[in-house]
Chain A
Amino acid sequence: MSSETPAAGAAAHVRATLDGVFATVARVREASARHLGAARAQGRPPVRADLTALRPLLHDHLGPLVSGLGFIAAPGLLADAAWHMEWWQTGPAGDPVRLLRDLDPESSALYDYTGWEWFAGPRDGAEKTVCGPYVDYLCSDEYVLTLAMPVRVAGEFAGVAAADVFSRTFENEVVPALREIPAPAFVVNAPGRVMASNTASWPPGTVYRGGGAGLAARPCGDLSLSLVTAG
């Protein structure tokens, strides 16, 4: 690390932080595919109860970094619910709490989740989607990042495995590395939303539309994020 420039070090740290979360998402993805596949192997379509087996894994991985975790079913996947989430969040007392929402868009227009990038990205083939930060009025009522991967059963898209990280948690994690850079620097997601920054000129949530005098972007590994630095 010592031979790297501070910018390269910060980019690597951003990537390592998110890769750690993706490792958790990958475990949820594998377990989801296994439980859904087991139902198929019994010659029946999967039902909600097949997904309750995920709970010990989900509870174990909620913590200081991951504030929400679970599996979101593709509409029509389950025989007993057109729309379903096996989604757990850290509750006010620190214990895991299940998100219970009326997800049927017929009765609750708010909660059609197929339009969100964390669902559409994996559905449309992206292996790793970093969505946000965005105001998550659907699940947590917080400003969050959602990291998502597709779940496939026998090659077919079955839903999404995902984890939420509060924007403030991500910021606390990466800002020290950004502050090592002796110039304005910030991390932006693929469409250009600022995720964390060492300068008040580009606070989280603002949009970087490319260009800008003396600003240069470098990728953060294979994730579609960039570290933008001046000078």
Chain B
Amino acid sequence: MDSARLVAFAPVDNTARVHAVVRRLGDAIALGLLADGEQLPSETELAGHLGVSTVTLREALMALRQQGLIETRRGRGGGSFVRAPARPFDLDERLRPFTAEELRDLGDHYAAIAGTAARLAARRSLPGDVARLRRSLAQLTGPPDARRARLDGRLHLEIAGASQSVRLTREEIRLQADIGPLLWAVDALPAHRGRAGTEHTAIVEAIAGGEDGRARDVAESHIAHAVEHLIERRLAL
């Protein structure tokens, strides 16, 4: 085998995948998206959902156990169960591994997806789609806790669904898992209270009015504002 092939076919480092799964599930638990005491799906099922091997998943679960974020019970009625974290979600800790460039790039990617989804949603929404968005918007009140993070995620997912694109919707789900926890943490900061709400209303109204250009612009700047804050905060660490 020539050297190019040797490199191309070298085993992929499994550590990165394990870390990705730990971060994904760890964030969901820290944010309360997975509730205290909730049972995780079986290892086979969860590995299938996450698109990783059961070996990778087991390593990730072991790390989560060591962090005290899950506990595993044996025997009948056994399985892995979520344990509420002793420490709440720590935005600075979560930001530390990122460079400013990586945060900017994540934001660019998410803005491309969310902006296009909003533009297509404005063109293709029917009254039923708009009613669903308005319902989520009306429920998006109250303290910035796990409930509101869930509703925020739901609203953005509904916008993606209203674009009628399965691929954009899948990408929205994937990006929410990667960057959603960071954006929600920004939303919860006192200095940012209210802004996200205003932006959500503007996106939904642009979609309801069929203003596709405006829907895209507002959806993009909604993400850009939050990412700008994340970059500032990262650089100040």
Instruction: Specify which chain A residues have a CB less than 8 angstroms from the CB of B147 in the assembled complex.
Output: 109
Nearest CB in chain B: distance from A185 CB, A: 20
Chain A CB within 8 A of B141 CB: no
- Return 16 A-B CB contacts under 8 Å, by A number: A100-B41, A100-B45, A109-B147, A110-B153, A110-B154, A117-B128, A134-B164, A135-B161, A135-B164, A135-B165, A137-B161, A142-B166, A143-B166, A191-B126, A193-B126, A207-B126
- B interface residue count range (under 10 / 10 to 19 / 20 to 34 / 35 or more): 20 to 34
Chain A CB within 8 A of B123 CB: yes
Pairwise interchain contact B161-A206, C-beta atoms closer than 8 A: no
Give the CA-CA distance A193 to B161 in the complex, in Å: 14
Chain A CB within 8 A of B160 CB: yes
Nearest CB in chain B: distance from A151 CB, A: 22
Instruction: Specify which chain B residues have a CB less than 8 angstroms from the CB of A135 in the assembled complex.
Output: 160-161, 163-166, 169
Pairwise interchain contact A191-B127, C-beta atoms closer than 8 A: yes
Selected contact of B170 from candidates A115, A141, A191, CB within 8 Å: A141
Instruction: Specify which chain B residues have a CB less than 8 angstroms from the CB of A133 in the assembled complex.
Output: 164
Pairwise interchain contact B164-A108, C-beta atoms closer than 8 A: no
Pairwise interchain contact A192-B164, C-beta atoms closer than 8 A: no
Q: Looking across the interface, which residue of chain A has its beta carbon closest to that of B127?
A: A191
Chain A CB within 8 A of B135 CB: yes
Instruction: Specify which chain B residues have a CB less than 8 angstroms from the CB of A115 in the assembled complex.
Output: 131-132, 135
**Prevailing SS type, chain B contact patch:** helix
Give the CA-CA distance A192 to B164 in the complex, in Å: 13
Selected contact of B161 from candidates A107, A134, A192, CB within 8 Å: A134
Pairwise interchain contact B150-A137, C-beta atoms closer than 8 A: no
Chain A CB within 8 A of B157 CB: yes
Instruction: Specify which chain A residues have a CB less than 8 angstroms from the CB of B177 in the assembled complex.
Output: none
For the complex, count residues of A whose C-beta is within 8 A of B: 21
- Give residues of chain B (144-172) contacting chain A, Cβ–Cβ below 8 Å: 147, 150-151, 153-154, 157, 160-161, 163-166, 169-170
Contact with B along A128-142 (1 / 0, CB 8 A): 000001110100011
Chain B CB within 8 A of A205 CB: yes
Chain B CB within 8 A of A127 CB: no
Pairwise interchain contact B173-A137, C-beta atoms closer than 8 A: yes
Contact with B along A163-194 (1 / 0, CB 8 A): 00000000000000000000000000001110
Chain B CB within 8 A of A80 CB: no
Selected contact of A137 from candidates B45, B124, B169, CB within 8 Å: B169
Selected contact of B124 from candidates A142, A143, A205, CB within 8 Å: A205
Instruction: Specify which chain A residues have a CB less than 8 angstroms from the CB of B165 in the assembled complex.
Output: 135, 205
Chain A CB within 8 A of B38 CB: yes
